[in-house]
Amino acid sequence: MILFEEVSKVYAGNFSALKEVDFHLKQGEMAFLTGHSGSGKSTLLKLISLMERPTTGRIVLNGNDISHIKGNDIPYMRRHIGMIFQDHRLLMNRTVLENVGLPLLIEGYNQYEIKRRSLVALDKVGLSGKEDYAPIHLSGGEQQRVGIARAIINQPPLLLADEPTGNLDPKLSLEILSLFESLNEFGMSVLIATHDLGLIAKMRYRTLTLKEGIMINDGLMRERNG
């Protein structure tokens, strides 16, 4: 699904954000990406979501080498990645339904199909009946769920989440992670970037740990309690 081969990223001013990172996330696998602020988590996610290009090394996504992908191909490649952000990145001037249906609108689905699928996706994330709300009228947790519904609506093979529980209380955080688990059960690969080690410890998944741009650990962090 995702293959990193000796990937480095150097920003202007000779700042090395990633240093020869290697890892392989298989199809249907769920993993955490952790590390302190500035460890390179966001850079790694940006490389996968094609917001940045690697300075050296090779990135393969879903069988396609995206290290030197052409600019015109980026939108089509992004349609195969569901992205979830800490700040949700919702369109506040549109309804929940319109936000969720955005990827399908872009892909050229008709209005009937967009509405049908959006309602199913909202039901899946527990937001049935809130389709006509403006996102501003929803709580932080609900907004995050809208973001998740938008990310999964076009059934991407890969789900990337950048600090998806950063603004949520522990109970809501666990609910969101359970949601990711259920999506993973459907066959989606899931990569969650978080610095919440407590949360990672409660789950039993592979954890990639970055420190100053170097992958220092790749494996299970700890057995889940209970």
Pull the structure tokens for residue 175: 């609910």
Q: What is the CA radius of gyration of the chain?
A: 17
Binding mask 168-207 for other proteins (x = CB under 8 A): ---------------x--xxxx------------------
Exactly one of 6, 11, 64, 91 binds other proteins (CB under 8 A); that residue is 91
Comparison of 22 and 113: residue with beta carbon closer to other proteins = 113
Report how far residue 67's alpha carbon sits from residue 47's, in angstroms, rounded to the nearest whole number: 9
Comparison of 159 and 215: residue with beta carbon closer to other proteins = 159
Q: To 5 degrees, how large is the angle CA 160–CA 162–CA 165? A: 115
Binding mask 51-70 for other proteins (x = CB under 8 A): x----------x--------
| CB atoms near residue 9 (< 10 Å) | 22
Spatial CB neighbours of 191, under 8 Å, sequence gap ≥ 6: 2, 25, 30, 31, 32, 33, 45, 48, 158, 159, 160, 161
102 binds other proteins per the rule CB under 8 A? yes
Considering the complex, what minimum distance in angstroms separates the CB of residue 159 from other proteins? 9
79 binds other proteins per the rule CB under 8 A? yes
Specify the DSSP element, H or E, that contains 202.
helix 197-202
Contacts with other proteins by CB under 8 A: the residue count is 41
Comparison of 125 and 168: residue with beta carbon closer to other proteins = 125
Burial of 10 (0-12, 13-18, 19+ CB in 10 A): middle
Residues that bind other proteins (CB under 8 A): 27-28, 49, 51, 62, 72, 75-76, 78-79, 83, 89-91, 93, 102-103, 105-111, 117, 120-121, 123-124, 150, 152-157, 183, 186-189
